[in-house]
Amino acid sequence: MALISVKNLTRVFDVSKPWLNRVIERRGKAFLTAVSDVDFEVTERTTYGLVGESGSGKSTIGRMLVGLLTPSGGTVEIEGVNLATETDAKKVDVIRSDIQMIFQDPYASLNPRWRVRDIIVEPVVARGGDATGLAERLLEQVGLSALDAGKFPHEFSGGQRQRICIARALSSEPKLIVCDEPTSALDVSVQAQVLNLMSDLKDNFGLTYVLISHDLTVVRHMADRIGVLYLGRLVEEAGAEDLFADTKHPYTKMLLEAAPQIDGFGREAALPEGEIPDPINPPSGCAFHPRCPIAKNICTQERPDLREVGQTRVACHFAQ
Amino acid sequence: MTDLSNQTVAPKVVQKSRLRVFLDSDIYYTFRRSPVAVVSTIVVTILVLSAIFAPLIASTNPFDPASLNLMNGFTAPMTPNAFTGESFLLGTDDQGRDVFSTILYGMRVSLFVGVAAVLFAMVLGITLGLISGYVGGWTETIIMRTADVQLTFPSILVAMLIFGIAKGFTPIEYRDQMAIWVLIIAIGLSDWVQFARVVRGATLVEKRKEYVEAARLIGRTPYAIMLRHILPNVLSPVLVIATISLALAIIAEATLSFLGVGAPPTQPSLGTLIRIGQGFLFSGEWWILLFPAFTLLTLALSVNLLGDWLRDALNPRLR
């Protein structure tokens, strides 16, 4: 059964200037469509990877999954409950304790004035739960010492802080953890440790991950299924192996060619051409056509729908 | 070389006492290195202690009519009185009250009003600042525009206005009793704006941080987030403003009392004493004015210097 089911998810941000400026400059309101019409499902106890360049809407989707942002359109259902519309407070509370998030910046995601113990058990204590010894147990599970519970966050390094964040995420015994670029602020040597810890915990606790990252190697290492986002739309979705072995969408190909590879050290890297377009005025038709090497006339006029080609779902007119 | 391989190294846990932590802190280090801060702390401590223990230090209670002798009026400092032969350290005023004692009792009123007014301004400013920073939207617009409008008036004028209005609503028989409290509210209301602005600014920074989002996503209420997460992180600039505001509040109280709208004659503050004293300045009785004025100057100056030092010490960019 799918733990998360996302349907036609859309999020629009109002990026207008203050009304006085609009009156003086005679401009209308401006809207930025960060996410549009995204569909996917995440099976329990799997890892779903979301990749894309900055500005592709991956963090926005993550925030909507955990309920920090409300969707402008479409639905996010977690275990059949839509957090944005559910009115039964009990159900919302149950679902909330099943969802946790690990953030990108381990320096901003721990309250500097709180002791590590209080930070870790907050998700439990906030619900009136008993948290005796919980922080110490979790700290040891994430590879820190139980003695660290009495310290303050500034006494730890970035990697250790991220471990504390993971301990906090685990404390309410969640089913789903949304990881928003969990390793991008860490040194490469520490990244691997944190990722391995995350895989171990996934097996031990039966977790489901949604892993948001711009780093294809990280996602390949962790994810069972991967969705590639471009300008707020899902352009290709496939199992991890299929995506790398049999790439269908020209954008995914471009990303893969640009990614650094150990065996191809010193090779001539094909850099992605062009930049991600302005999301306030997206290109007509397929949003990727200005950068696409195989774009034809139809690409500027018609937006390709996400269709199934084999095991892959891909949004390209020419995908086979 | 000793062989360490067989030894288990016990984790070293040194639980520092709170005093030790303080003595090792950066703050204490910069404090010790700043003579200005040390001297002003000593001066403030002496003044505050002597205000608190005024009844023990002062030779007489200057506001108890039974202890007064009109014959002692206008005795110069350290000079025996021509009629009674009594001698006073800082002289006496027109009614024979010991100036030293009146200063001690006056300082009590001044400090009490100052501290209470700053506390009131602080609570009000922090609350409104937190709410406007965290909630945003129309709430923020209304609170902050009110603050902006109030800033266009001199704060002493605002205090006088509030004092006057409140006085109009108080029955005459309670006026003297209420005067101190009205004074506190008037000075506090004229001073909350800076607290609100600083707290709002810091809140805007803090609320975007991910630890606040982590608290939001587990379903903590805005109330809990503001109080338990954001408030502790915005307090250090508040501490600086509070210290500087204390000096300003003491001066504001003295100004109001000097103008005759502050502390009543039955509970004179330093400002009231200065007002009484300035009537005798040109007839040669300089001590009635000069000693209270000098006390006020010392008090306000040392609190202010302490605030300046605190601002530098807590601002890492100035180091």
pLDDT for res A269: 61
CATH number at residue B161: 1.10.3720.10
Q: Which of residues 275-314 of A touch B (CB under 8 A)?
A: none
pLDDT in tens, A234-276: 999 999 888 888 888 999 988 888 776 666 556 666 666 677 7
Q: Tell me whether residues B219 and A93 touch, CB distance under 8 A.
A: yes
Contact status of A161 with chain B (Cβ, < 8 Å): no
| B213, part of any domain | yes
How far from chain centre, in Å, is Cα B176?
22
According to CATH, what is the number of the domain A2-246?
3.40.50.300
Contact status of B136 with chain A (Cβ, < 8 Å): no
Block residue for tokens 């700043």:
B34
Q: Which of residues 203-222 of B touch A (CB under 8 A)?
A: 209-211, 213-220
| B50, part of any domain | yes
pLDDT for res B32: 86
Which region among A3-7, A201-205, B80-84 has the lowest average model confidence (pLDDT)?
A: B80-84
Type and span of the H or E element at B165: helix B155-169
Q: Give the separation between CA B299 and CA B293, rounded to whole angstroms.
A: 10
How far from chain centre, in Å, is Cα A48?
9
Burial (0-12, 13-18, 19+ Cβ within 10 Å), A273:
exposed
Average pLDDT across chain A, whole number: 88
How far apart are the CA of B296 and the nearest CA of chain A, in angstroms?
38
Q: Give the separation between CA B164 and CA A136, rounded to whole angstroms.
A: 60
Rg (CA), chain B: 25
Q: Give the separation between CA B192 and CA B67, rounded to whole angstroms.
A: 41
Contact status of A60 with chain B (Cβ, < 8 Å): no
A232: number of Cβ within 10 Å = 26
How far apart are the CA of B40 and the nearest CA of chain A, in angstroms?
29
B271: nearest Cα among B294, B246, B285, B292 = B292
Q: Please provide residue B4's backbone torsions phi and psi, each rounded to the nearest 5 degrees.
A: -100, -5
Block residue for tokens 């036609």:
A8
Domain containing B236 equals: 29-55+98-318
Tokens of A159: 């990697």
Q: Which of A96, A100, A108 sits opposite B210 (nearest CB)?
A: A108
pLDDT for res A102: 94
What ipTM was estimated for this complex? 0.86
> What angle, rounded to 10 degrees, do the helices at B175-189 and B155-169 form?
150
Total domains, chain B: 1
| B2, part of any domain | no
- Give domain limits for chain A: 2-246
Q: Give the separation between CA B122 and CA A149, rounded to whole angstroms.
A: 33
Contact status of A97 with chain B (Cβ, < 8 Å): yes
pLDDT for res B80: 78
pLDDT in tens, A75-122: 999 988 888 888 888 888 888 889 999 999 998 999 998 999 999 999
Check residue A232 and give left, alpha or beta (phi > 0: left; psi -120 to 50: alpha): left
| B221, part of any domain | yes
B199: nearest Cα among B125, B120, B138, B118 = B125
B249: nearest Cα among B152, B183, B175, B150 = B183
- The residues with which A50 forms a beta bridge, in sequence order, are A212, A227
Burial (0-12, 13-18, 19+ Cβ within 10 Å), B135:
middle
Rg (CA), chain A: 21
- Contact between B98 and B86 under an 8 Å Cβ cutoff? The reply is no
DSSP 8-state assignment for residue B53: T
Q: Please provide residue B231's backbone torsions phi and psi, each rounded to the nearest 5 degrees.
A: -50, -50
Q: Give the separation between CA A125 and CA A89, rounded to whole angstroms.
A: 18
How far apart are the CA of A123 and the nearest CA of chain B, in angstroms?
6
Q: Tell me whether residues A68 and B216 touch, CB distance under 8 A.
A: yes
A123: nearest Cα among A72, A173, A48, A74 = A173
Contact status of B76 with chain A (Cβ, < 8 Å): no
Q: Give the separation between CA B188 and CA B116, rounded to whole angstroms.
A: 8
pLDDT tens, N- to C-terminus, chain B (319 residues): 444 444 444 455 556 677 887 777 778 888 888 899 999 999 999 999 999 998 888 777 777 777 777 777 777 777 777 777 777 788 787 777 888 888 999 999 999 999 999 999 999 999 999 999 999 889 999 999 999 999 898 888 888 888 888 888 888 887 777 888 888 988 998 889 999 999 999 999 999 999 999 999 888 899 999 999 999 999 888 988 999 899 999 999 999 888 888 788 778 888 888 888 888 888 878 888 899 999 999 999 999 999 888 888 876 555 4
Q: Tell me whether residues B214 and A147 touch, CB distance under 8 A.
A: no
Name the percent of chain B in helix, strand, coil, to the closest 5.
75, 0, 25
How far apart are the CA of B194 and the nearest CA of chain A, in angstroms?
24
pLDDT for res A54: 83
Residue-by-residue DSSP string for B99-154: HHHHHHHHHHHHHHHHHHHHHHHHHHHHHHHHHHHHH-HHHHHHHHHHHHHHHTS-
pTM of the model: 0.83
Q: B202: which residues sit within 8 A by CB, 6+ positions away?
A: B133, B233, B234, B237
Q: Which residues of B touch A81 (CB under 8 A)?
A: none
Tokens of B285: 């009785």
pLDDT for res B318: 52
Nearest CA in chain B to A122: B215
DSSP 8-state assignment for residue B5: T
pLDDT for res B2: 46
- The residues with which A228 forms a beta bridge, in sequence order, are A51, A236
Residue-by-residue DSSP string for chain A: -EEEEEEEEEEEEE-PPPHHHHHHHT----EEEEEEEEEEEEETT-EEEEE--TTSSHHHHHHHHHTSS--SEEEEEETTEETTT---HHHHHHHHHHEEEE-S-TTTSS-TTS-HHHHHHHHHHTTT---TTHHHHHHHHTTS-GGGGGS-GGGS-HHHHHHHHHHHHHHT--SEEEEESTTTTS-HHHHHHHHHHHHHHHHHHT-EEEEEES-HHHHHHH-SEEEEEETTEEEEEEEHHHHHHS--SHHHHHHHHHS--STTTT----PPPS----TTSPPSSSTTGGG-TT--HHHHH-PPP-EEETTEEE--TT--
Q: Tell me whether residues B13 and A96 touch, CB distance under 8 A.
A: no
Q: Which residues of A touch B216 (CB under 8 A)?
A: 68
Q: Which of B13, B210, B232 sits opposite A103 (nearest CB)?
A: B210
B244: nearest Cα among B317, B318, B300, B316 = B300
Which whole number is the average pLDDT over A290-311?
87
Q: Which residues of B touch A105 (CB under 8 A)?
A: 210
pLDDT for res B4: 46
How far apart are the CA of A92 and the nearest CA of chain B, in angstroms?
9
Q: Which residues of B touch A146 (CB under 8 A)?
A: none
pLDDT for res B94: 76
